[in-house]
Amino acid sequence: MTDQLSEPLPEHVAANREAWDRYASEYVDAGHRAWSSPDPTWGIWGIPETALMLLPADLSGKDTIELGCGTGYVSAWLARRGARPVGIDNSPAQLESARRFQKEFGIEFPVHLGNAESTPFPDASFDFAISEYGACLWADPYAWIPEAARILRPGGQLLFLTNAIILQLAVEEFEENDPAKETLQRPMFGMHRTVWPGDTSVEFHLPHGEWIRLLREHGFEIERLAEIQAPLDATKSSRYTFVTAEWAHKWPSEEAWLTRKRG
């Protein structure tokens, strides 16, 4: 299977490749910490899997694909639970970190350079697909959801964790030290593609009704939508300055969708 380096990329995919190659060095330490943790912890607030219970109870022998695997720690957690992971990511620099960590921690699995919107994998290759702030935030849902449906087996699950829609509505400009407000900052109808002022990377967000319509159109049943609250003992901002713990005690800053492809 070849890495997708040279074919013409959609404009947002090329912009995000350039951006993530630039950001990659800032994600090495966090990636290393997550690789070092034997058990999964999720998202901005580092909530343990034992509290959120997002993953399937039994992953042993399951073929898994991580869409936007970055430094690969999520797939490493799946490998430790007995899965056979594969990762795909759009950034050569992020994959360099992933390959380095694989060697350091002695957990090796295939990682491909490519766009989660159009992957090189055959139909029905995987039992479980996951994206933690990967394709689910940085790829176009109208392209990556049908692609996830294609590469999952009937009955396979798709789990993704991303910024909550209400956080997107409450953040003014996603600038350093300008956290989410208590009033809405933008319309929800028509939300899809976002480029924050002064940035070049392209994010994607959909209102809940549109996620439900799109997922169902592509054969997914929704099993759970977890609207994640910052733990009540979290008092400080996370390293992400766009939301404070105080805000995230009152409204969800993150949401996780657990879905299953109809059999």
Q: Which positions lie near ligand SAM, rule CB under 6 A?
A: 13, 16, 20, 27, 31, 68-74, 88-91, 94, 115-117, 132-135, 138-139
Smallest gap from residue 36 Cβ to ligand SAM (A)? 13
**CB closer to ligand SAM out of 137 and 215:** 137
Q: What is the CA radius of gyration of the chain?
A: 17
Determine the Cα–Cα distance for residues 160 and 241; give it in Å rounded to an integer.
22
Smallest gap from residue 182 Cβ to ligand SAM (A)? 26
Which segments within the chain are labelled E, that is strand? 41-42, 47-48, 63-67, 84-89, 111-113, 126-132, 152-163, 193-194, 203-204, 220-228, 254-261
Q: How far is CA 14 from the centre of its chain?
A: 18
**CB closer to ligand SAM out of 162 and 244:** 162
**CB closer to ligand SAM out of 44 and 135:** 135
Determine the Cα–Cα distance for residues 2 and 165; give it in Å rounded to an integer.
35
Chain residue at closest Cβ approach to ligand SAM: 70
Smallest gap from residue 141 Cβ to ligand SAM (A)? 11
Smallest gap from residue 139 Cβ to ligand SAM (A)? 4
**CB closer to ligand SAM out of 20 and 247:** 20
Amino acid identity of residue 21, one-letter, is D
**CB closer to ligand SAM out of 194 and 249:** 194
Smallest gap from residue 199 Cβ to ligand SAM (A)? 14
Nearest CA among 26, 34, 132, 123 for reference residue 76: 34
Contact indicator for 74, 41 with CB cutoff of 8 Å: no
